[in-house]
Copies of this chain bind each other. A is one copy, B any other.
């Protein structure tokens, strides 16, 4: 018997555990922006153990696009340091399964894909610093205008590790010039969520030809008196995983994140660590 669906707005104000319960029960499979305010949300990369050491090395060497906030035991679907009873097979609203570097299927449950050799890596996401900017009165254009953040391939080389290499994907947010310094200061407080911007101003300097033509997401206006700032983006590790052509890897679907029980401004992403 199909369960009654719940809406995004009906989940506003729910705890991380409540949102994950709705997702696990199959009553919610939408995006997670604005849900469980104040808690860490995570990008997801699930891959076979034989690639996990190189992938963790890759993330360590590229901490701004790839801030690791949790790593599961091999074959264990629980993410024990990120929350109570997080089952990574069922508690993310939507997943993308890639085989041999190509999208195979988009699903709401990966229980039948899960295997004993899989390792889950959770990575911080931009929701964390966007929330902090808005709390501090700094406008976030794509959210104001109900669009997805514009993302661009840059010419910034990543530090390679094993089969993983490539160029950084960046997001762009136009910020009023008088708030640029404050924006940098706020974002630098969140190394687990891409940290401070990696560039500002002329897009050509990082290999972007046209800000009105993002490679992913939606273009946004840049008004007079605003400066485009560029942040390292969590799509970077996804692209790198795809380019590596792994026989199997699983990510979240864009915007459909893992919600942790850890506060987004915790000193570490480890639950109840003293």
Contacts and interface: CB of A to CB of B under 8 A. Distances in A.
Nearest to A122: B60
B61 A53 contact: no
A211 interface: no
Interface string A75-107: 000001100000000000000000000000000
Taking each of A81, A196, A198, A274, which has the highest tally of chain B beta carbons within 10 Å of its own beta carbon? A274
Contacts of A273: 62, 64, 159
Which range contains the number of A residues in contact with the other chain? 20 to 34
Contacts of A63: 268-270
Taking each of A71, A269, A273, which has the highest tally of chain B beta carbons within 10 Å of its own beta carbon? A273
A49 interface: yes
A18 B119 CA distance: 41
Taking each of A63, A196, A199, which has the highest tally of chain B beta carbons within 10 Å of its own beta carbon? A63
A80 B198 CA distance: 21
B274 A81 contact: no
A73 interface: yes
A267 B62 contact: no
Contacts of A268: 63-64, 191, 195
Nearest to A158: B273
Interface in A1-39: none
A81 B61 contact: yes
Given A64-B268, A80-B159, A196-B267, 15 more contacts: A49-B53, A52-B53, A53-B56, A56-B56, A56-B57, A60-B70, A60-B71, A62-B270, A63-B270, A64-B273, A81-B159, A159-B273, A188-B267, A191-B191, A191-B267
